[in-house]
Amino acid sequence: MPLESHLTLDASAAEYVVDVANVVREPALGGERAADLARLAGLLDALADFARDPAVQVYAITDRSLLSDGRLTAPERHTLERWYRDGLLEVLPRADDRLLELADALQLRVVSSDNFLDFHRAHPWIPGSRDRFLRPFLQPDGAVGVRPRIMPVPPEWQVSRKEEEGLLLEAGVIRRWDRSAHGAVLSRDWRCPEADCPQFGAGDRPSTALPRRRRAEVLCPTHGVPLTDTGPRPRRAQVKVVMDGTVRGRFMVTAGEPLAVGRAPADGGVTLGAWIDDTAVTSVSRTHVVLSYDGNGLSVLDERSANGTRIRRSRPDGDTLIPLHHGNLWHLRQGDSVVLHDRLELLPSGRQFVFEEDPTDGTVGPQASGSAAGPTMMAVPRELPREQE
């Protein structure tokens, strides 16, 4: 799969935020050069294995200095420049605070070896974090791997020293986004006054990246200037098609536009046949379920499937399967997936953590309701053992 196929600045689709310069300039990830773009390729393969998603999507950010780093080859620098122009790579004078802003606002996991000591006060969720950071490493076979990490809790003097070294570029202006502000910004289409802006420039392409927010202003992350609100943009939610535990495909559900999913749904629905084998196909109805999105949460309706639908509810003490009866609507919470067949399920993007028990009971039926925000993240994924720092 081409390297750039994993890169996206779509805030609705990204699942990880990657510190590109940190990866490319890390000799411990293999190769003899001080900077090597092949390390990023290795990392993306590692993330695909870690997530069991061959088309895993990452929000890639780099310091501007990488684009002119003489330790990269001319073709490598040209590739980075092309990704930037094509809106696949966010380029900033300094990337660290933006990485953390995205992780905070979008609940993305950060892939980096940096300890971010100079941002511990601005982002108090960093020290001791067990579920928000991944570290790339070199495996015995020479391939790049990735594993969860526990962030260190440094002594006060060390944090103060790092703050001084970093000159506190964002001191006093970094603010944690509340969820209502985050949703409001992502529901609008923003334009940058710089016409050649790769993220928010003029043209028909919608602005899917996450703007910066400083006090009352919404800013272009690349140029630092206020963005113009050009009107509403429909919210979208990503859903993955998982077969035998591996992601085989993905699609988007747009707010206010119910989407039929099945073996061969009519009227522009999602056809699963291209992603699943014959055994599963025979158990999936032409229109098996209808998904809808209200801008906050996904709902699923089984209108008339022949073999039924179940909801898988993931909890720390194990999964529970709940039948979804015909004509009943289920409001998906964080940790729910839609089971169409023993080997096939629809997975709302982001279900990679274990969650606390939801205080509501998950009633199924036309009157069912659920928290769009879902329960609180509390534990790391189970794919690999944690790394002690």
- What confidence category does residue 365 fall into, taking pLDDT thresholds of 50, 70 and 90? very low
Q: Are 3-174 and 236-379 the same fold in CATH?
A: no
Which class would CATH give 236-379? mainly beta
Q: How far apart are CA 346 and CA 340, in angstroms?
A: 8
DSSP 186-210: HTEEEE-SSTT-TTT-SSSS---SP
Q: What is the model's pLDDT at position 160?
A: 58
d(CA 107, CA 15) in angstroms, rounded, equals: 9
Report whether pLDDT(388) > 50: no
Given a cut of 80, whether residue 315 has pLDDT beyond it is no
Long-range contacts of 306-311 (CB under 8 A, 24+ apart): 307/283, 307/341, 309/338, 309/339, 309/340, 310/338, 310/339, 311/336, 311/337, 311/338, 311/339, 311/362, 311/364
Contacts of 325 (CB under 8 A, 6+ apart): 302, 364, 365
Mean pLDDT rounded to a whole number for the chain: 80
Position 281 scores a pLDDT of 73
Q: What is the DSSP letter of 177?
A: P
The model's pTM: 0.70
Query: What is the predicted pLDDT for the residue at 27?
Result: 94
User: At residue 146, does pLDDT exceed 90?
Assistant: yes
147 and 162 Cβ atoms separated by less than 8 Å: no
State residue 72 phi and psi, 5-degree precision.
-85, 155
Q: How far apart are CA 366 and CA 148, in angstroms?
A: 40
What the block records as the tokens of 309 is 């639908």
Tokens standing for residue 34: 């001080």
Cα 301 → chain centroid: 25
Mean pLDDT of 102-117: 89
Range from 31-35, 86-90, 354-358 carrying the lowest mean pLDDT: 354-358
d(CA 23, CA 43): 8
3-state secondary structure 327-379: CCEEECCCCEEEEEECCEEEEECCCCCEECCCCCCCCCCCCCCCCCCCCCEEE
**What is the spatial distance between Cα 55 and Cα 48, in angstroms, rounded to a whole number?**
7
Domain ranges of the chain: 3-174, 177-233, 236-379
Q: What is the SS3 assignment for 40?
A: helix
Domain 3-174 in CATH 3.40.50.11980? The answer is yes
Question: What is the C-alpha separation between 118 and 67, in angstroms, rounded?
Answer: 24
Residue 61's nearest CA partner among 25, 13, 111, 12 is 111
Per-residue model confidence as pLDDT tens digits over 196-207: 888 888 666 667
63 CB neighbour count, 10 Å cutoff = 19
Question: What pLDDT is recorded for position 374?
Answer: 31
pLDDT of amino acid 180: 54
Cβ neighbours of 350 (radius 10 Å):
17
Residue 138, H or E segment? strand 133-138
pLDDT at 367: 32
The DSSP bridge pattern shows strands 16-19 and 109-111 to be parallel
- Which residues pair with residue 320 across a beta bridge? 313
Confidence of residue 23 (pLDDT cuts 50, 70, 90): very high
Which two structure tokens, joined as six digits, stand for 286? 């032409």
Q: Is 153 helix (H, G, I), strand (E, B) or coil?
A: coil
Average pLDDT over residues 339-349: 89
Which pLDDT belongs to residue 181?
Answer: 61
pLDDT-derived band at 63 (thresholds 50, 70, 90) equals very high
Mean pLDDT of the region 311-330: 88
Residue 356 has pLDDT above 60, yes or no: no
| Higher local confidence (pLDDT), 187 or 308 | 308
Supply the pLDDT for residue 236.
84
